[in-house]
């Protein structure tokens, strides 16, 4: 006699087990609304337990449901709302009713798919319901069974207890984001705007000299002991677009991280991640850099730490969004030039490790936190030690500084900086070329010639060096060698007019 009532509660319990959320708790028999999660085909499932005697009762209910759905859609701001509407009735209406539930009620904004189940056709109705929810048919056909009033009350209490437990769990998950207010997030946002204005008034935020003067990461100066440059780039930005993008990212991602970890932990994470970002840039990029991107990626890394400490809360709250943001931004970094992805990855790692070290408020995990601090000092300190003792990093820093001197006409400084490195058997082609160009400017043609010959020996296809050699041979009157060298340069780049012009001059000189 109570089989349909039992089915009502049993079906609600089944949906709760499948990670649906009860958004309107039923205090008694009647009506329940459940919100779909994950890849469910409907936004909402409405379960309506009422003995329906006439066709018109169904029509009126669907009309009322449509109006309620439209108000709900408008209030939630959704473009479209889809509802699976399940009627549970002891008996079917006495008149013709099948056409009312035979097709969806739908327009561009609202879609309502009705499924009618009565005692006589319960198995068939449950199969339709299973198909509508992308379940196997036999997953629901066992829901219908004979039951007495006590069975119904027992099932009702069980389902409401499960719903209450889910609600408490949802509150705990939401509480993860209420540990702190985004105080330091706003402080850093205001600070970086202030520093941007100061840069603009002092020579321009896109002026390399101004950026370096105010604390941008510059490898040669780091190697000279200016370690504070690992921190100061966090508040400096290169151009208005860079500032706007990072400020928006800070106010969204940074605020979320500060709410999760609290203000003090956030401050530690943000600065530590910024330092790790600067270390990553120091190791893999010889160019000056600035920006909060490394620290912001650190906030993403800290939020990603939730996946390890509380995977369920992470996936139910911000997990998918965070992973998408990380993949998208790293992908853009690898495809767009002038983006310091090494700094981004360094910040991401630093934020993840620092989150492990400071921990989530309210969770005492001393061994994990100790491991986090050990990893920070081992990885961060090890990376710095490697960078300061790495020949490629030192050479790249020296080359970058020497290139600036060359542009400024300081050829003696270039020569003094690169002479020792250029005299080594394993000297790089970049070092040899820049040193040779400086020696040409200083009139030291013989030394420059040796440098370019060494470059061509390393890379016979280096047409620019072959051209320079041809010019040097010409200056010394070695026209045969000059002609041979310029022909090799033209073989590599036959359309270069400058090369053709020198070849013609050499041939003209040889014909005299």
Catalytic residue among 82, 293, 438, 465: 293
Q: Judge contact between 413 and 434, C-beta under 8 A.
A: no
CA distance 260 to 180: 7
| Distance separating alpha carbons of residues 123 and 114, to the nearest angstrom | 16
> Is 293 a residue of the active site?
yes
Distance of CA 299 to the CA centre of its chain: 10
Contact at 8 Å (CB) between 472 and 452? yes
Cα-to-chain-centroid distance, residue 47? 39
Question: What gap in Å lies between CA 163 and CA 296, rounded to an integer?
Answer: 37
Q: Catalytic: which of 242, 344, 438, 463?
A: 344
Q: Is 343 left (phi over 0), alpha (psi -120 to 50) or beta?
A: alpha
Q: Residue 46 and residue 108: Cα distance in Å, rounded?
A: 20
Is 344 catalytic? The answer is yes
Neighbours of 163 (CB within 10 A): 19
CB 436 within 8 A of CB 458: no
Q: How far is CA 152 from CA 9, 17, 145, 239, in A?
A: 8, 18, 11, 67
Q: Give the number of residues written for the chain.
A: 512
Helix (H, G, I), strand (E, B) or coil at 31: strand
The three-class DSSP label of residue 32 is: strand
- Give Cα separations from 422 to 172, 417, 508 (angstroms): 63, 9, 35
The set of residues, in sequence order, having a beta carbon less than 8 Å from that of 382 and lying 6+ positions away, is none
Active site residues: 293, 344
């Amino acid at each position: 006699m109570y089989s349909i009532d039992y089915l009502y509660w049993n079906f609600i319990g089944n949906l709760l087990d499948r990670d649906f959320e009860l958004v309107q708790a039923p205090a008694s028999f009647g009506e329940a609304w459940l919100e779909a999660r994950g890849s469910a085909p409907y936004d909402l499932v409405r379960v309506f337990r009422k003995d329906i005697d006439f066709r018109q009762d169904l029509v009126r209910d669907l009309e009322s449901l449509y109006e309620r759905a439209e108000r709900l859609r408008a209030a939630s701001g959704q473009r479209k709302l889809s509802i699976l509407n399940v009627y549970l009735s002891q008996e079917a209406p006495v008149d013709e009713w099948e056409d009312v539930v035979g097709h969806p009620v739908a327009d561009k904004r609202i879609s309502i798919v009705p499924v009618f189940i009565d005692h006589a056709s319960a198995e068939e109705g449950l199969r339709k319901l299973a198909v509508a929810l992308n379940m196997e048919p036999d997953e629901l056909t066992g829901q219908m069974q004979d039951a007495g009033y006590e069975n119904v009350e027992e099932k009702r209490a069980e389902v409401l207890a499960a719903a209450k437990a889910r609600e408490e769990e949802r509150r705990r998950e939401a509480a993860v984001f209420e540990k702190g207010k985004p105080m330091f997030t706003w402080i850093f946002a205001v600070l970086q705007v202030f520093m941007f204005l100061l840069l603009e008034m002092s020579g321009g935020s896109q002026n390399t000299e101004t950026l370096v003067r105010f604390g941008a990461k510059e490898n040669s100066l780091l190697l000279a002991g200016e370690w504070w440059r690992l921190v100061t780039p966090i508040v400096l930005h290169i151009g208005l677009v860079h500032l706007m993008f990072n400020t928006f990212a800070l106010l969204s991602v940074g605020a979320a991280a500060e709410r999760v970890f609290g203000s003090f932990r956030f401050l530690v994470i943000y600065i530590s991640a910024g330092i790790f970002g600067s270390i990553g840039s120091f190791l893999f990029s010889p160019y000056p850099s600035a920006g909060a991107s490394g620290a912001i990626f650190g906030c993403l890394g800290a939020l990603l730490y939730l996946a390890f400490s509380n995977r369920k809360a992470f996936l139910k709250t911000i997990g998918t969004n965070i992973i998408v943001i990380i993949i998208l931004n790293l992908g853009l970094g690898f495809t767009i030039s002038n983006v310091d992805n090494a700094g981004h990855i360094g910040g991401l790692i630093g934020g993840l490790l620092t989150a492990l070290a400071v921990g989530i408020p309210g969770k005492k995990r001393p061994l994990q936190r100790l491991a986090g601090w050990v990893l920070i000092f081992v990885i961060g300190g090890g990376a710095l030690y490697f960078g300061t003792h790495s020949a490629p990093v030192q050479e790249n820093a020296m080359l970058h500084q020497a290139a600036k001197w060359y542009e400024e006409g300081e050829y003696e400084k270039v020569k003094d900086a690169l002479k020792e490195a250029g005299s080594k058997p394993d000297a790089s082609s970049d070092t040899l070329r820049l040193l040779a160009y400086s020696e040409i400017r200083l009139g030291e043609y013989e030394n420059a010639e040796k440098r370019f010959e060494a470059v061509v020996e390393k890379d016979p296809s280096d047409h620019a060096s072959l051209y320079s050699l041809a010019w040097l041979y010409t200056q010394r009157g070695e026209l045969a060698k000059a002609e041979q060298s310029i022909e090799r340069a033209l073989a590599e780049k036959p359309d270069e007019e400058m090369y053709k012009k020198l070849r013609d001059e050499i041939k003209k000189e040889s014909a005299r």
